[in-house]
Copies of this chain bind each other. A is one copy, B any other.
Amino acid sequence: MSTAAPRSAGPDHLWSVDEHLDDILRTVRPLEPIELHLLDAQGCVLVEDVTVPVSLPPFDNSSMDGYAVRVADVAGASEQYPAALEVVGDVAAGQAELLHVGPGQAARIMTGAPLPPGAETVVPVEWTDGGLGEGPAAGMRARSLAPEGATGQVNVYRPAGPRAHVRAQGSDVRAGDRALAAGTVLGPPQISLLAAIGRGTVRVRPRPRVVVLSTGSELVQPDEELRPGQIYDSNSFALTAAARDAGAIAYRVGAVADDAATLRDTIEDQLVRADLMVTTGGVSVGAYDVVKEALSYTADEDEPGSGVDFRRLAMQPGKPQGFGSIGPDHTPLLALPGNPVSSYVSFELFVRPAIRTLMGLTDVHRPRTRAKLTASRALTSPKGRRQFLRGRYADGTVTPVGGAGSHLVAALARADALIVVPEDTESVTPGTEVEVVLLG
């Protein structure tokens, strides 16, 4: 990627997509880590190396339901000549005080229970008569229904070598081993391991809180009546959903009318719960572009990077964009254009990487691939602008859906990919290989 243009590039500078993205990624920093309960940390990035405090399993234990015995006592056992042993009691999982198994003795043992002193191996219950004297057993009867099973005599029909069906202490992880490295994303198996080694909380970067607000006096909420000149607010719904998909905790503020004072008040009011602020609309060259009007103030000269810069991008859709930071904590703010498709494409290219950078992820971008263009006619693209067309990807080919118009939200709902047409390409003929962003 190219180096970002300086923030002082001036109003006439036409920013490339990469310059704008670089500016965002250079500015946005991962959130400060906090200690979270395991299930609250799901999907988050670990910031510490986690060391195993105690070996797993913490003690030698049985991997089967059966009998803990001495090797010599069952050495010659067969169905014809079973080894008859005295059952001295039960060893259940979780039991602290253990029996001692002497010569000629057996302790009935459950899966996960500690191997008792004196015992050298475990014979599964299916290799015995289970104490019932009726040939090989299918299992044990429940202790609560048949307490006599913990006493009496058991016939063992097969020998077992030393430590058979025994899980050795430390055979899973050893105390001092590194269980997980800093940077690991915590999914279910990692959470399983952390719980298993006794960690109830971990230090992770939290999910960023993203506040989404749309602007426009023409916007009304779904389910309300549409009057002349009005349309429904869809951006605040789409971007809230997309922010959650990216990993954020997203708050939808909804639509704010085109009034700079109201917008400034709303943003200031919401700042307290925002790690990132996203607005849509009001960033272009019109006389009512309220976001630009409200936020185009001179930055604090002592605070590099403060203030919001509005710029033109060499991109279609999504030419007008704003980026900067606001408020006492310099909360990053991305101001997206108001057309639904423009704002959604801008989210995928700029906001999603910003959210994932806040989370501390290294893999911040949507995956890209190359695909053969399937289309009935050539795609056209304006010279000098990178175009992102909506498409459907399957098996190495991509097919455009809908047209290039930035208001075609119906086509967007059928797309699962963006087709990238580079700045210097004005026409792409069917069959050509193109770059594709997979929206997954």
Q: How far is the CB of A320 from chain B (nearest CB, A)?
A: 10
Across-interface contacts of A224 in B (CB, < 8 A): 198
Is the CB–CB distance between A138 and B285 below 8 Å?
Answer: yes
Query: Is the Cβ of B216 less than 8 Å from the Cβ of A286?
Result: no
Contact, CB under 8 Å: A344 / B172: no
Binding site for B on A (CB under 8 A): 11-12, 38-39, 42, 54, 56-59, 63, 65, 90, 92-96, 98, 108, 110-114, 125-126, 138-146, 149-150, 167, 171-173, 177, 179-180, 187-201, 216-219, 221-224, 226-242, 244-245, 252, 257-258, 260, 284-289, 292-293, 338-340, 344, 405-410, 412-413, 415
- Bound form: Cα–Cα A228–B176 in Å: 20
Residue ID in chain B nearest A184 by CB atoms:
B413
Which of A65, A231, A236 gathers the greatest number of chain B CB atoms within 10 Å?
Answer: A231
Q: Provided the pairs A171-B405, A193-B410, A409-B196 are in contact, do residues A96 and B188 lie with their beta carbons within 8 angstroms?
A: no
Given A39-B237, A94-B258, 16 other A-B residues pairs in contact with their CB atoms under 8 A: A42-B245, A54-B226, A59-B228, A59-B229, A63-B405, A63-B406, A65-B287, A114-B229, A142-B260, A142-B289, A142-B293, A173-B410, A187-B241, A188-B245, A192-B412, A201-B223
CB distance from A137 to the nearest CB of B (A): 8
CB-defined contacts of A173 to chain B, threshold 8 Å: 409-410
Q: How far is the CB of A39 from chain B (nearest CB, A)?
A: 6
A189 to B179, CA, bound (A): 39
